[in-house]
Chain A
């Protein structure tokens, strides 16, 4: 029948590599152009920097645990906050999400690889060396005396603090160059995913039959293509200022400080959605499978994501409500920012509709997805509060904002990254992660997360600004900060358990089989791990859930779509 998928894999092609000596195997990874290997390399690299930047966050919380603490001097603290923010966005969020898309998109569209495998490898290595360059600044800089001259200007690098008179030495140059490199890598990957989705889909997979994840990967890739160039342009302009004496942002010579902010947030706001839409994508795959129901309102879900993509391009100046725009300007950006809440709300309702009257199985990926729903709901609502421009005049640049965007970046994105890893780890490695350790990881992480970031909302309302290395006693901030720091410790323990879980499972995890979750998309039709070219014969599909059709020949999906 037409819905059949060929499950005869070219298993003889699987790894003679296991026989190679270690250097030979390493060499195979370095020269690989296979989308699955590159995906795993992105994810592994991202997780490595997640641990590094997480340790930096822990140091920040240690310093802020008590008032007037002197563990970390101010300049070291400023380096920590700069490196933590920069790394988490460019060296953790972007590569892990890129990596997951890299791994999953070809499998889900029934293709053998991405459209441009070597471009893919090129993008990875650009990212890799850009990432090394950022941390090399700790030991590079101005020769021996510049040791430890890591950037200390914040991940947003506001001019004119980044101009030569206020930022001597090369630390800011490291920031500029490493981010330039990593964003070129991301742009290459985005172009690759767009091309693959449009040109490499298997027979029968029309645009309206793609899994939601593939749709969202496409939306994100388009957003990357539009949003990253303004950042690169601004960085080149800043380099011109610093090395050739141009005056774009150099206020001492008549340049504009606000211009940098516009450039940065024209990139920076879509970037938030570039990071969070992948979380939506994972949720849209995981929640249906563990609810045993088809996703509710597929086309509205896709339309809402496209709407988010478009609207997100016109909201950047809500980061600049206090910069002194006209009342009309503030009103416009307040309106467009609130409007994003509508498609976002639609998505939350659709996930809820998917769970409604389903048969929920609370496996670890589902636990993370449920926590994501609650936390993203809170993040969305505090986002609406920040879109109310006058309220924002009080809240911006305080710990309320820190709490809000950590609800997005950790509560939504990191939670969904963990969900995705627990969900697809069996596919990529052939082994299950431990459910028991996974539950420990989940509960400790939820508790730690809320201890840290719930309290920070209130610290912000109590007048605590961001990016301060210390605060004075008697301001009503001691308890809140102490609790937040305890929470960071608990989160750290949770992540440690995750690392143990991964290492243990790689060595001796329970074998997974091809389709451990009883799922419906194409990646579960091939072996775990998939062979080098994914499918021995390319699949043919008739609906959005080809494996559902196989498993339920009496009531296939294509009758309803």
Chain B
């Protein structure tokens, strides 16, 4: 009997999990992301996130104390005041109210709210109206359905989905100031360990700043529902020492590499619809709808974080992006195998 129940149970579990196994696909992201620590809002590495954390701890302590007091009183009442069998059956004394008690439990919360509000207002002003030191970096962030475009106006760099910023030394701070704007629907820029989120809205310029003190890669994600692929609008912020950042800047400023061995692939790129949407500096391609591909291979991921960036994944992506990212606005290119290989070979040279 038990054996049969067992068998049934496992059959049900296996059948129930089959669809999960059949459809699951992580394109190598699990392995790579598990090397990046989780994005806890309390594990902060940047000034505005620190300030929020301090206020958050203060708020949590107040609410915890209130919870313990009120819940404690409730539990006392539940244990002590339960109706017992065999008592006299009479109703308990009827208490209609008490002015002093009610005055007390109105006044005390008002005082708590006052303290909490003053602390909150101070943090609001210090995070929203920061001093901008001379060495600050500017980045213009543009939200698209479903990827991020980054312009460094003072450095002349355009890139996508992976934001490189220099490490900021508390003694000699080089924070990064972000101007945020959207070209389509509302998005929200959020890298939990670096700062709170700021919405990215069409026809409205928002600003925020980050001031990271620890080098590393930090994962962020669009936080405002923006349509089909909202879940797969990821971004990475790579915080690196100043020298590394300067090297990266120098490399990004180069025009695209030219390599005669992949001329056919380049020709395919320039003669198909690719050029309507993508730009490659130093070639005829100057589309603006999709990510700038000049230094494509310098990025760790493709499709705004949907997959690790390697030739196999690029091939799947170019053949039909909706396989990796259903709803992605890039169409399937309908290339035959030979052309696809040549095109991917060309893309592989864009370092």
Q: Which of A121-129, A458-466, A501-509 lies at the binding interface?
A: A458-466
Query: Out of B95, B198, B232, which one reaches A353, CB within 8 Å?
Result: B95
Q: Are B97 and A70 in contact (CB under 8 A)?
A: no
Report if A349 contacts B (CB, 8 A).
yes
Within 89-133 of B, Cβ neighbours of A (below 8 Å) are at: 91-98, 101-102, 105-106, 109-110, 113, 116-117, 120-121, 123-125, 127-129
Min CB–CB distance B95 → chain A (angstroms): 6
Q: Are B82 and A560 in contact (CB under 8 A)?
A: no
Query: Out of B56, B110, B188, which one reaches A322, CB within 8 Å?
Result: B188
Q: Are A390 and B327 in contact (CB under 8 A)?
A: no
Q: Are A293 and B92 in contact (CB under 8 A)?
A: yes
Min CB–CB distance B230 → chain A (angstroms): 6
Q: Are A341 and B196 in contact (CB under 8 A)?
A: no
Q: Are B81 and A296 in contact (CB under 8 A)?
A: no
Q: Are B223 and A75 in contact (CB under 8 A)?
A: no
Contacts of A557 in B (CB 8 A): 94
Contacts of B36 in A (CB 8 A): 474
Q: Are B123 and A374 in contact (CB under 8 A)?
A: no
Q: How far is the CA of A395 from the CA of B41 in the complex (A)?
A: 8
Say yes or no: A475-B81 contact (C-beta < 8 A), given A74-B327, A327-B124, A388-B59: no
Q: Which of B63-71, B268-276, B291-299, B311-319 lies at the binding interface?
A: B63-71
Q: How far is the CA of A298 from the CA of B31 in the complex (A)?
A: 60
Q: Are B203 and A467 in contact (CB under 8 A)?
A: no
Say yes or no: A330-B128 contact (C-beta < 8 A), given A335-B117, A356-B77, A357-B81: yes
Min CB–CB distance A387 → chain B (angstroms): 8
Q: Are B60 and A331 in contact (CB under 8 A)?
A: no
Q: How far is the CA of A394 from the CA of B59 in the complex (A)?
A: 14
Contacts of A467 in B (CB 8 A): 225, 230-231
Q: How far is the CA of A291 from the CA of B80 in the complex (A)?
A: 12
Min CB–CB distance A154 → chain B (angstroms): 5
Q: Are B59 and A322 in contact (CB under 8 A)?
A: no
Interface size on A, residues (CB 8 A): 104
Contacts of B186 in A (CB 8 A): 158, 160-161, 257
Contacts of A226 in B (CB 8 A): none
Report if A385 contacts B (CB, 8 A).
yes
Q: Are A296 and B184 in contact (CB under 8 A)?
A: no
Q: Are B81 and A291 in contact (CB under 8 A)?
A: yes
Q: Are A358 and B224 in contact (CB under 8 A)?
A: no
Q: How far is the CA of A348 from the CA of B106 in the complex (A)?
A: 11
Min CB–CB distance B310 → chain A (angstroms): 17
Report if B267 contacts A (CB, 8 A).
no
Contacts of A472 in B (CB 8 A): 26, 29-30, 33
B221-257 vs A: 1/0 string, CB under 8 Å?
A: 1111111111110000000000000000000000000
Q: Which of A29-37, A61-69, A185-193 lies at the binding interface?
A: A61-69
Q: Are A463 and B39 in contact (CB under 8 A)?
A: yes
Query: Out of A78, A154, A161, A390, which one reaches B196, CB within 8 Å?
Result: A390
Q: Are B40 and A323 in contact (CB under 8 A)?
A: no
Q: Are B219 and A377 in contact (CB under 8 A)?
A: no
Within 156-214 of B, Cβ neighbours of A (below 8 Å) are at: 184-186, 188, 190, 192, 195-199, 201-204, 206-207
Min CB–CB distance B268 → chain A (angstroms): 30
Q: Are B26 and A473 in contact (CB under 8 A)?
A: yes
Min CB–CB distance B146 → chain A (angstroms): 10
Q: Determine the residue in chain A with the shortest Cβ distance to B35.
A: A474
Q: How far is the CA of A353 from the CA of B331 in the complex (A)?
A: 65
B40-52 vs A: 1/0 string, CB under 8 Å?
A: 1110000001011
Report if B78 contacts A (CB, 8 A).
yes
Report if B24 contacts A (CB, 8 A).
yes
Q: Are A461 and B42 in contact (CB under 8 A)?
A: yes
Query: Out of A251, A339, A389, which one reaches B113, CB within 8 Å?
Result: A339
Q: How far is the CA of A355 from the CA of B82 in the complex (A)?
A: 9
Q: Are A346 and B105 in contact (CB under 8 A)?
A: yes
A339-375 vs B: 1/0 string, CB under 8 Å?
A: 1011001101110110111111110000000100110
Query: Out of B66, B120, B221, which one reaches A463, CB within 8 Å?
Result: B221
Report if B19 contacts A (CB, 8 A).
yes
A423-445 vs B: 1/0 string, CB under 8 Å?
A: 00000000000000000000000
Q: Are A465 and B222 in contact (CB under 8 A)?
A: yes
Min CB–CB distance B124 → chain A (angstroms): 5
Q: Are A67 and B113 in contact (CB under 8 A)?
A: no
Q: How far is the CA of A373 from the CA of B77 in the complex (A)?
A: 13
Contacts of A357 in B (CB 8 A): 81, 92-93, 95
Query: Out of B87, B116, B128, which one reaches A327, CB within 8 Å?
Result: B128
A74, A322, A385, A468: residue with the most chain B Cβ atoms closer than 10 Å = A322
Q: How far is the CA of A473 from the CA of B190 in the complex (A)?
A: 19
A-B contacts at CB below 8 angstroms, number? 310
Q: Are B55 and A74 in contact (CB under 8 A)?
A: no
Min CB–CB distance B254 → chain A (angstroms): 32
Q: Are A158 and B225 in contact (CB under 8 A)?
A: yes
Size bin of chain B's contact surface? 35 or more
Q: Determine the residue in chain A with the shortest Cβ distance to B27.
A: A68
Q: Are B30 and A68 in contact (CB under 8 A)?
A: yes
Report if B20 contacts A (CB, 8 A).
yes
Report if A324 contacts B (CB, 8 A).
yes
Q: How far is the CA of A119 from the CA of B276 in the complex (A)?
A: 58
Contacts of B63 in A (CB 8 A): 381-382, 384-385
Q: Are A394 and B83 in contact (CB under 8 A)?
A: no
Q: Are A71 and B67 in contact (CB under 8 A)?
A: no
Min CB–CB distance B209 → chain A (angstroms): 12
Q: Are A322 and B83 in contact (CB under 8 A)?
A: no
Contacts of B67 in A (CB 8 A): 377-378, 381
Q: Are B221 and A465 in contact (CB under 8 A)?
A: yes
Contacts of A263 in B (CB 8 A): none
Min CB–CB distance B184 → chain A (angstroms): 7
Q: Are A322 and B81 in contact (CB under 8 A)?
A: no
Q: Are B196 and A394 in contact (CB under 8 A)?
A: yes
Q: Determine the residue in chain A with the shortest Cβ distance to B29.
A: A472
Say yes or no: A334-B117 contact (C-beta < 8 A), given A74-B326, A294-B94, A348-B70: yes
Min CB–CB distance B33 → chain A (angstroms): 5
Report if A256 contacts B (CB, 8 A).
yes
Report if B74 contacts A (CB, 8 A).
yes
Min CB–CB distance A159 → chain B (angstroms): 8
Contacts of A198 in B (CB 8 A): none
Contacts of B184 in A (CB 8 A): 160, 165-166
Report if B13 contacts A (CB, 8 A).
no
Using a CB–CB cutoff of 8 Å, the interface residues on chain B facing chain A are 19-20, 22-26, 29-31, 33-36, 38-42, 49, 51-52, 55-56, 59-60, 62-63, 66-67, 70-71, 73-74, 77-78, 81-83, 87, 91-98, 101-102, 105-106, 109-110, 113, 116-117, 120-121, 123-125, 127-129, 145, 184-186, 188, 190, 192, 195-199, 201-204, 206-207, 219, 221-232, 326-327
5 cross-chain pairs, A with B, having the tightest CB-CB distances, nearest first? A70-B23, A393-B196, A474-B34, A463-B39, A476-B38
10 A-B pairs besides A390-B56, A463-B219, A476-B40 with CB distance below 8 A are A335-B121, A338-B117, A353-B97, A357-B81, A357-B95, A382-B63, A384-B62, A384-B116, A473-B26, A474-B36
28 contacts between A and B (CB under 8 A): A65-B20, A66-B20, A68-B24, A69-B20, A154-B225, A161-B185, A258-B201, A294-B95, A294-B96, A296-B97, A297-B102, A324-B198, A326-B128, A331-B124, A334-B124, A338-B117, A357-B81, A357-B93, A360-B81, A374-B71, A390-B52, A393-B52, A393-B195, A466-B225, A469-B231, A471-B231, A474-B30, A474-B31
Using a CB–CB cutoff of 8 Å, the interface residues on chain A facing chain B are 65-71, 73-75, 78, 152-154, 156, 158, 160-161, 165-166, 251-252, 254-258, 291-294, 296-300, 322-324, 326-327, 330-331, 334-335, 338-339, 341-342, 345-346, 348-350, 352-353, 355-362, 370, 373-374, 377-378, 381-382, 384-385, 388-398, 461-463, 465-477, 552, 557, 560-561
